[in-house]
Amino acid sequence: MMLEVLQYVVSFSAIPETVEGFYLTRISPLSLSFMSFPGNLHLVLVLRPTSLLQSPSGTGTDLGFRFSQDDFMLKMPVVMLSSVTDLLRYIDENQLTSEFGGTLEYCHSDWIVLRTAIESFAVTVKEIAQLLQSFGTELAETELPDEADAIEFLLRSHTDKYRQLKDDIRSVMREGRHLLSNLEAAKAAKADGQEDKDIKQDWDTVQRLLAQLRDMEMAFDGFFEKHHLKLQQYLQLMRYEMSFHEVHCTMMGILDWGFCDCGGCQEEMGRAQIIILRGHQLATGHHYALALIVQRCNELRHHCDVVSCFHASVCVCVCLCLCVYVCLQARRWCDEGAYLLANQLVDKFQSKEGAQGALQDLERLQEETPPCLSQSPDVLSLEFEAILTPQLESQIGVATEKLSAMQRMIHNRQACLRKLADIQVRPIQLVAPRPEHSPRCKSPLFSPKHSTCNDHENGISLTGASLTLSLSLSLSLCILLTVLCVFRHIIKELIETERIYVEELLSVLLGYRAEMDNPALSNLLPSVLRSKKEVLFGNMPEIYKFHSRTFLQDLEGCLETPERVGACFLQRKEKFQVYERYCQNKPHSELLWRQCSASLFFQECQKKLEHKLGLDSYLLKPVQRLTKYQLLLKELLKHSADSDYISELQGALESMLDLLKSVNDSMHQIAITGYEGELSDLGRVLMQGSFSVWISHKRGPTRMKARFKPMQRHLFLHEHALLFCKRREEHGEGHDRTPFYSFKHCLRMSAVGITENVKGDVKKFELWYSGREEVYVVQAPTFQIKIAWLTKIRKILTNQQRLLQGFYFASTCLSASMLGVLFIPLVLYCGVL
């Protein structure tokens, strides 16, 4: 307190003496300083300078008089002192500086410099906090672009700003630490070893500012790390989706066009495997879009299996065509060889030139032999062994025998011609075996355009029409075999994956669920998991029982009759409702899993089971299995060759799609809060979605004016009521941020009416309640969604009307029978008719 008084005293101690009445002008600022002094003043000591006492124009009496005029404004005691000795009577010399005859070591200029540095540091910390706040707001409000280059640019720009802010924070931290070191040096310089109150206060201030700065830096680092990770995962997901769609379109093109290049097919399947591996890497990295990535991996695996089956069937078809082609080439070459041998006249062989010419003709025929015929018959049979049928085997046998016979004939003729060409003998007149009419005459015995009984006996030639018919039948057979092969392969995949699915469910139930009751592992089981098996695993035992005892056996019965697979799904349609309860429990299961996923209990169980993936991946298997069913049914429907069973497959696919929709709707329904009553009393959820709603009119004591601004409401259409809810987001990040629906209003369907068209917008329709006492104008996101909702609401209202009519008729009949006036006239009337 005394030090602060001295600061003010020192500030006004050196006053010039050359201006007359100067103290009169300085009294007012002094009074203002007293009024703004930081604390309660009880006494004011004014030391009169000695130089002023020697001034001829200003006397002490004048000064005292003039000062006492403002003393009334101060409203506190003011003591006028004429010397330093008088000052020592009021203030101890330990509280005065050497200038006033005291022993206090104090430099006001140093105090001002230090105080200015501390205030500047505080202002800088505040500015840093504002910069961090504005940058955090910018990051939170940044809209994610749809292009990879834009996302990369956003990542670079945000990283540069982050580094710049980090440099600023480090600079301010260095400044604060420098101030702190100066204060510590000043504290250590105290001779008496006693801590100065002002220095301690300044030291605490700087320490507090540094702590605030460190807290802000840590919070900012955490926020930016999450934001940066989100952007990186978004970029990874975009690139993964682009790669997925490229491979998916290529595979679908292969299946749609029916064209399959062996090399290209293998390359696409290799790319698909790389993308699946990349998806697994993203999933193990705890990507926020885990469900989508797993679904994409499953789709790629399925398409790889289908393309692989299609590739195998095409290879079979190509082999069949190649086999037919080889047979045709063999017969054509044999016919040409037989024609050449028949037209080599014996009388021309007597000369050396004639024999050499005939040899050249035979050598030219052998050079023109198709490459497929250059292999031995055993090699040809081995090459087509995988596709040989009894008919094809007999055809290949005939062609092989004919080819061998023709080659032997040619070798024998060449041997004779070589002897004739090497040994010159006397010409002998020979008689031709047939009259020679023309050099171009063709022997009918070996003419490819004629056939004799010998041809049929030896199986040497076919007519052009029979060859065309044989090729057409072979191609048709190939196409039919391809379709059947793909269909049977999909059935086989369905059964094999069903067996694997059942085995995985059993391993989870025995390896995890049952082990929770194992006393040997009780010390590893977290306390939060005790008595929570039903929450973590849901009704998985019920799902396993249905699949292992019923559905798997039904599917295995379709191995001999694969066309009956659609009927299996339709017969067990109601049993699949167990998945709805499992999916409704899934959010609670995931929340419990996140609380104890790092438990040693789960690590030990996973180690015993030798599972590569954690329990959370296996808990997701039932949801993935539902999506797998509809994919396999679509492929079966696409490759179905028997039109008699297409309707069953179509019904099975629709039932699976309805189940997926029902599961999705029920997942939204369990998030409704604030409804007083049982949601189960409202019936099953038929549809749900977000709409813009206007309350255009309401009569009665609670009349409301029309709203021009729409309300965003999430509507749930039940069998007996329509709920209006408001979608909200829970506080949290990542998986913990889940939506819920706050209940707002309920309309009983027994009192609801609809107006299907609203003027001005084709997406709007009108719901009115209790004779138009309440009217709601609802705008759907699209026209198709509006039509779907109107169709479902119209169906509900029609069913209600039929029930009411039936109830009214039954009531009327009951009343009339009690009065005895109904049945007798009715019988008489029927008798007249």
What is the DSSP track for 379-401? HHHHHTGGG--HHHHHHHHHHHH
Q: What is the mean pLDDT of the chain?
A: 75
- Has residue 20 got a pLDDT over 50? no
Across residues 157-165, what is the average pLDDT? 91
Residue 587: strand, helix, or coil: helix
Q: What letters, b where the CB count within 10 A reaches 16 and e where it falls short, cover 237-253?
A: bbebeebbeebbebbee
CA distances from 728 to 643, 694, 738 (A): 49, 19, 9
Fold for 116-243, please state it: Methane Monooxygenase Hydroxylase; Chain G, domain 1 (1.20.58)
What pLDDT sits at residue 520? Answer: 86
Confidence of residue 261 (pLDDT cuts 50, 70, 90): low
pLDDT of residue 474: 46
47, 84 in Cβ contact below 8 A?
Answer: yes
Q: Are 715 and 669 in contact (CB under 8 A)?
A: no
Please tell me whether residue 417 adopts helix, strand or coil conformation. Answer: helix
Helix (H, G, I), strand (E, B) or coil at 640: coil
- pLDDT score, position 317: 73
pLDDT at residue 378, as a whole number:
57
Closest CA to 205 of 120, 263, 138, 282: 120
Looking at the domain that runs over 479-669, which CATH code has it been given?
1.20.900.10
Say what the pLDDT of residue 258 is.
Answer: 59
Amino acid at 342: A
Residues paired with residue 690 on neighbouring β-strands, in sequence order: 714
* Distant-in-sequence, close-in-space partners of 206: CB < 8 Å, separation ≥ 6: 118, 121, 176, 179, 180, 183
Using 50, 70 and 90 to split pLDDT, how confident is the model at 423? Answer: low
For residue 37, give the DSSP letter. -
Return the pLDDT at 17.
39
pLDDT of residue 192: 52
Residue 507 has pLDDT above 90, yes or no: yes
pTM: 0.43
Spell out the domain ranges in the chain: 1-50+67-106, 116-243, 479-669, 672-698+710-730+738-818
The average pLDDT across 62-66 equals: 44
Beta strands in 63-172 (DSSP E): 78-81
Convert the pLDDT of each residue in 544-576 to its tens digit.
Answer: 999 999 999 999 888 878 878 888 999 998 999
Each residue's pLDDT tens digit, 569-618: 999 989 998 998 898 888 889 889 988 888 899 999 999 999 988 999 99
H or E, element range at 673: strand 672-673
Say how many C-beta atoms besides its own lie within 10 A of residue 631's C-beta: 19
Query: What distances in angstroms separate CA 178 from CA 157, 206, 392, one per listed residue?
Result: 32, 10, 95
Which of 310-324, 367-381, 485-499, 707-721 shows the lowest per-residue confidence on average (mean pLDDT)?
Answer: 367-381
Query: Would you say residue 543 has pLDDT above 70?
Result: yes
Cα–Cα distance for residue pair 157/151, rounded to 1 Å: 10
> DSSP secondary-structure letter at 469?
H
Q: Is 441 helix (H, G, I), strand (E, B) or coil?
A: coil
Nearest of 224, 246, 232 to residue 289 by alpha carbon: 232
What is the percentage of the chain residues whose pLDDT exceeds 90? 14
| Helix residue ranges per DSSP H, 344-371 | 352-367
Please give the helix or strand (H or E) that residue 726 lies within, else none: strand 721-729
* 685-698 sheet: strands from edge to edge: 672-673, 739-748, 721-729, 711-718, 685-698, 774-779, 764-769, 752-755
267-271, 400-404, 449-453, 672-676, range with the lowest pLDDT: 449-453
Is residue 327 pLDDT above 70, yes or no?
yes
- pLDDT of 642 higher than 90: no
Alpha carbon separation from 759 to 356, 710, 756 (Å, rounded)? 99, 16, 10
Whether the pLDDT of residue 278 is over 60: the answer is yes
What value does the mean pLDDT take over residues 726-737?
A: 64
pLDDT at 75: 66
Residue 817 has pLDDT above 60, yes or no: no
pLDDT for res 23: 35
Give yes or no on whether 116-243 and 672-698+710-730+738-818 have one common fold: no
Higher-confidence position of 210 and 465: 210
Residue 231 pLDDT greater than 50, yes or no: yes
Local confidence band at 660 (pLDDT 50, 70, 90 cut-offs): confident
The per-residue pLDDT for 363 is: 83
Q: Which residue has the higher pLDDT, 423 or 555?
A: 555
* Mean pLDDT, residues 236-245 taken together: 89
In a 10 Å sphere around its CB, with 0-12 CB exposed, 13-18 middle and 19+ buried, how is residue 6 labelled? buried
Could you give the CA distance from residue 370 to residue 392 in angstroms, rounded to a whole number? 20
**How many angstroms separate the CA atoms of 629 and 640, rounded?**
16
Give the residue among 44, 82, 75 at the shortest CA–CA distance from 60.
Answer: 82
**pLDDT tens-digit readout, 681-722:** 888 888 889 999 998 665 554 455 555 678 899 999 988 899
Q: The domain 672-698+710-730+738-818 is classified under which CATH number: 2.30.29.30, 3.40.630.30, 3.40.50.300, 3.40.50.10800?
A: 2.30.29.30
pLDDT tens per residue, range 519-528: 888 888 888 8
Give the sign of the dihedral formed by CA 23, CA 27, CA 28, CA 30. Answer: positive
Contact 723, 735 (CB under 8 A): no
What is the pLDDT at residue 428? 43
Pairwise CA distance, residues 750 & 720, whole Å: 7
Report, as an integer, the average pLDDT of 326-339: 79
